[in-house]
Amino acid sequence: MALPIALGTGYVLARTNISGKNVLDGIMTSVLAIPGIMMGIGYLIGFDYPLPFINESLSRVWLIMPLVLTARRLPYMTRTTHASFLQLEKSLEEAAFVSGASKLRTFFNITLPLILKGVFAGMLLFLVMAIQEISATIFLYRPGWETLPIGIYLQWNRGTEFGVPAAAAFILIIFTLILLIIFSKTGQRVLGGAFAAV
């Protein structure tokens, strides 16, 4: 879900000259300043009215979880994607135009393959942050849709057993570690410019 949004904003920010793109950039990034608790409660109350067709409020279905995670951690992905777009020499795309390729064709043949690494790195970073998230999701989870951190918290809170949350936490750490290793391998080229490019 985050992927097309990040690609879209990255392209708009780096390649077009639309007025107000700085505002868009600002809004996208300022999400980082909002505490998770606020977002969690905000989503819970804000979406607590029945939607048309499904006759169920959004805050009561599992879909609210990926939604809030995407909104909350999107800047990590838009930043790295934006940086990849900026790093991509414009002339690489222009060379395709003058070879006879349309804008759309150029995007799929040239732009996308060349920024894929950066986008992938951003996606991993996004995943790392999302998977550990608890402050926003704790308000929104539905039974049966607990994420790992919520599971750990619930187990510990019940106070029944300490072994299960400990094991779950260990799994979480290992999983995150693997993601981070992949990230540092693929992201080396992009990471440097990711946040400096503001």
Partner 1 sequence: MSMRQEFVKLVKVVKTFKKVTAVAGVSLSVNKGELVTLLGPSGCGKTTTLRLIAGLEIPDSGEIYIDDLLVSAPEKGIFVPPHKRGIGMVFQNYAVWPHMTVFDNIAYGLKIQRLSKDEISRRVKEVLELIGLSGLEDRYPTQLSGGQQQRVALARALITRPQLLLLDEPLSNLDAKLRERMRFEIRSLVKNLGLTAIYVTHDQAEALVISDRIVVMNHGKIEQIGKPEEVYKNPANRFVADFIGVANFIPVTVKKIAENFQGIVVTEDGSVIRCTVSSRLKENNKAYLLIRPEDIVLYKDSPPGENTLQVKVVHRVYLGNINYYWLNYNDLEFRVQTSPDFEANEGERIFAFLKPDKAIALPE
Contact residues toward partner 1 (CB under 8 A) are 89, 91-92, 94-102, 105, 109-110, 113-114
Closest CB to partner 1 among residues 33, 98: 98
Helix (H) or strand (E) holding 5: helix 2-15
Closest CB to partner 1 among residues 96, 127: 96
Closest CB to partner 1 among residues 110, 128: 110
CB of 108 to partner 1, least distance (A): 12
- The amino acid at 106: T
CB of 131 to partner 1, least distance (A): 30
Please check whether residue 136 is in contact with residue 36, taking contact to mean a CB–CB distance below 8 angstroms: yes
Q: At 170, list the tokens.
A: 């260990």
- Distances in whole angstroms, Cα of residue 106 to Cα of each of 16, 50, 100, 184: 15, 43, 9, 29
Query: Cα-flanking dihedrals φ and ψ of residue 9, to 5°?
Result: -65, -40
Closest CB to partner 1 among residues 38, 116: 116
Place of tokens 């260990």: 170
CB of 190 to partner 1, least distance (A): 15
CB of 178 to partner 1, least distance (A): 26
In b/e form, how buried is each residue of 155-173, taking b as 16+ CB within 10 angstroms? bbeeeeeeeebeebbeebe
Closest CB to partner 1 among residues 21, 60: 21
Please check whether residue 9 is in contact with residue 82, taking contact to mean a CB–CB distance below 8 angstroms: yes
CB of 115 to partner 1, least distance (A): 11
